[in-house]
Structure 1
């Protein structure tokens, strides 16, 4: 007669625990490379807070599987093709990007400025799609880059229609980092700004994150009326004056309404 010991839910054997920890570290290395773009071993190790030897073993395993590339001449590591393929699978699965593409193309044709699409991920706004403008000097973010919620156009839109309790959970009680003298740094100021965003239907990053740059962002809704993304356009203040803000916001709002319609949203569903 044999007896078995049932493992408690949420508990793992020691070997499994070690494997999970290795996986977590490997993912941290990939995320570090996403931020660093191309970097030597020593810099990656510092970024993730691991020893050089441990970081090298993780990188080598990822390289063998195609998630990391290594340039022999420079000794630099970068994100590999396999990681791109995984990200592409997300893009293909998400009908959000497909719904937004025609309107983003039309906006760039009309405005000749770069247009971005961002979603809320944890405590940041993450850029998931982009159509670049044709200006010699243009504003753009790398896909996968994140923006702070408290002082970016997309971040404020993604927060504005959430309950105050959720906002506090996402950004904390402050004070928040000041990227420029115009950045919002306190919770009361942020809550007041989010109220204005809801009232006017769009958000403005008026040199809050970077001096000399303005951004208008608008909400994209799904079939339930929930804000699931933010559509934005950024430009140097030399090409985007304060007087142009209402016209730019109106054009962006029309585009966002088209995207939302493709996702099943009807204006009457929003309260």
Structure 2
């Protein structure tokens, strides 16, 4: 009996298919980029621009149109960038605007307090650090940009969760129990919802050695023009430099910075 080669054949076909899919994606993105640069164009113009046949270009445009990335006007025969492509670009624009608005406020805050400042947003079920301005202290808090923090036991995570509907909180975090990073971590759903209610009421969140012993963090919300909480600004420091009696003073300065960022994003509340 000849050896069974069906597994190898399937693997080969899968790899070939994957390569073809990547090539199609590359071509589709090149068509979309060309369309964005020209503003509007006919099929013939786009095919010439991307150096593809008219039939291939049409298939790519039709797929993009069905997905909402491209629009076609029948009476002129012109293709334009669609609403979904605009929404993707707008998301990048919002993040770019956030970083631009945050940098001067964060630098001023660090110059004032000489403690590390962090900017975070929520991504799925985690808080992700977008930007950091480090203090000049010999012993300073450092978080790598792009690193994630748990929502239930970080200052930024609590802020980014506190203004969400309860069903959304339950969807993101579940009903618990949650991981305990230190003896101070909140691990139960009831305790967490009480904490989030307190965050909403007082307008800030405190990570009181909940994620790492010996570290205290205070976080405040950043709002967009509609008043939605889209990010969180935090200052973290060793508990030896950030005792609880300093919370009111620290809060005033961090809140002023976060309100300044929000104002630059269009929030007037």
Tell me the CA shift for residue 19 of structure 1: 4.5
What's the secondary structure of 1:94's corresponding residue?
A: helix
Q: 2:183 maps to what in 1?
A: 181
Q: 2:234 maps to what in 1?
A: 232
In 2, are the aligned partners of 1:91 and 1:97 still within 8 Å (CA)? no
Q: Spell out the pairing of 1:201-220 with structure 2 (5 A cutoff).
A: 201-220=203-222
Distance 1:114 1:175, change over 3 A: same
Tell me the CA shift for residue 118 of structure 1: 0.2
Q: 1:6 maps to what in 2?
A: none
Q: 2:119 maps to what in 1?
A: 117
In 2, are the aligned partners of 1:120 and 1:126 still within 8 Å (CA)? yes
1:161 lines up with 2:163 in the alignment = yes
Instruction: Provide the TM-score with structure 1 as the length reference.
Output: 0.66
Q: Tell which structure's C-alpha radius of gyration is larger.
A: 2
Give the number of equivalent residue pairs.
189
- Work out the CA distance in 2 between the residues paired with 1:214 and 1:91: 32
Tell me the CA shift for residue 17 of structure 1: 6.0
Distance 1:17 1:213, change over 3 A: farther
- Work out the CA distance in 2 between the residues paired with 1:99 and 1:144: 19
In 2, are the aligned partners of 1:174 and 1:185 still within 8 Å (CA)? yes
Tell me the CA shift for residue 97 of structure 1: 0.5
Distance 1:222 1:14, change over 3 A: same
- Work out the CA distance in 1 between the residues paired with 2:20 and 2:167: 32
1:192 lines up with 2:194 in the alignment = yes
Distance 1:126 1:21, change over 3 A: farther
Instruction: Provide the TM-score with structure 2 as the length reference.
Output: 0.67
In 2, are the aligned partners of 1:126 and 1:144 still within 8 Å (CA)? yes
1:132 lines up with 2:134 in the alignment = yes
Give runs of ≥4 in structure 1 deviating > 3 Å.
13-23, 90-93
| Stretches of structure 2 lacking an aligned partner (at least 5 in a row) | 1-12, 24-91
- Work out the CA distance in 2 between the residues paired with 1:208 and 1:20: 48
Distance 1:15 1:174, change over 3 A: same
What's the secondary structure of 2:193's corresponding residue?
A: helix
What's the secondary structure of 2:145's corresponding residue?
A: coil
- Work out the CA distance in 1 between the residues paired with 2:219 and 2:154: 9
| Stretches of structure 1 lacking an aligned partner (at least 5 in a row) | 1-12, 24-89
CA deviations 1:99-121 (Å, max 9, x no partner) are 00111011000100010000000
